[in-house]
Structure 1
Amino acid sequence: MNTSTTESLDWNRTDGEELWDTEFIIYGICVPVVVTFGYIGNIVTAIVLWKANMASITNLFLRALVISDMALVTFASLAMTLPNIVTKLVNRDLGIHVIIPHGFKTIDYLTMTSQLCNEYILVFVSIERYIAICHPMKHVYIHSKQKVLASIVGIILFSVCYNLPRITSTEIKLKPCFDEHFSHDCYEIRQSDFGNTFWYRSVYAVWMYTVVYFGIPLLALLFLNILILRKLGKMRARRRTLEACASRSKKENTTVVIVLIVAVFTICQTFGFFNQFQFLMDDEKDNASVQTNITVIINFLYMINSSINFIIYICVGKKFRRTFVTTFCVKKWNCKASRCCGDMEAYSVTIVTLKRTSVV
Structure 2
Amino acid sequence: MGAGAGQAERAPMRSTALYALLLTLGALDAAGYSLIAPVLPGLAAQTGADATAMGLLVAMFPLGMVAGFALGGVVVRRGGSVRLLLMGLLLVAAGSLGFVFGADLTALAVSRLVMGLGSGCLWLGITFATLAAWPGQEYLCMSRIYAAYSAGGLLGPLLGAVHGVRGPFVAYLTLVVLAVVPVATLRLPSVAGAFSADWRAVRSPGFLVAAASIAFAVMALGTLEGVLPLHFGSRLRQSQIGVLYAATSVLVVVVGAVAARWQPRKVMLASTVPVAVGFAVAGAGSAVPVWIAALAVAGAGIGLANTGATGILLDAVPAQRIVTAMVLWSQIGILGYLIAPLFGGPAADAFGYGAVAAMIALGAAALAVMLAQPRRA
Larger Rg: 1
Whichever structure has more helix as a proportion of its residues is 2
Normalising by structure 2, report the TM-score.
0.31
Normalising by structure 1, report the TM-score.
0.32
